[in-house]
Amino acid sequence: MRNWTEIETQYITGNMSQKELAESLQISYSTLSKVATENKWSDKRKKFRKKAANKGLERAGARISRKLARLAEGTELLIDAALKALGDEQQFYRYIVTDGMGEGVSVTKEQIFEKLDAKALKDVTSALRDLTAMRRDLFGLPTQGETVAQKIAQEKLELEKRKLEHEISEGEDGESGVILIPERSGGRPDDE
């Protein structure tokens, strides 16, 4: 006696066609096909695959959401660190200096000079620009230039729309575009 529940499960959760399954189990294809049709195996397989795909998409979506949240949090922490560095008045006047003491001995220390460290300032500015771009990309925010370009494009579109509406209402030869048909005297036009 065949365990049709087990065979049905194998078909629904697997990738074999009914014919391939019948051959692998050494069952008559017509018998398997008849049982499959009566019990709507194909519909059950479609539902199973759809449910599995939805679960996969949910898991993938959750993973992506967690990654985006971590990326957003990391970006905010980096921006905070850069802003903190900018808040330190002496930040760009500090240098790391290594003094040789002789006999292969050296001492490394931090010193403050009056000369601005232009490279450090440039590095922080570049980092802030990169972090701002990352934040824009992460949240889908347009740059100021993109916002201006969108506004200009919208205004152009509105002008073209008004121009077209004006041309339609005026007609090509400056007239109203409305055709007046004179009435006939003596009844309806269909009477003739």
pLDDT, one tens digit per residue, over 81-139 is 878 877 887 887 888 888 887 787 888 888 888 887 888 878 878 887 887 887 788 77
Q: What is the pLDDT of residue 192?
A: 47
Confidence of residue 31 (pLDDT cuts 50, 70, 90): very high
- In sequence order, the 6+-apart residues with CB closer than 8 A to the CB of 95 are 110, 111, 112, 113, 117
Backbone angles phi, psi at 106, to 5 degrees: -140, 155
Six-digit token string for 182: 């004179």
Rounded CA gap, 30 and 37, in Å?
10
Six-digit token string for 12: 């629904």
User: Residues 56-90: pLDDT tens digits?
Assistant: 889 888 888 888 888 888 878 888 887 887 788 78
Q: What's the pTM value of the predicted model, to 2 decimals?
A: 0.40
Q: Average model confidence (pLDDT) for the chain?
A: 83
Six-digit token string for 167: 């041309």
Six-digit token string for 154: 């919208």
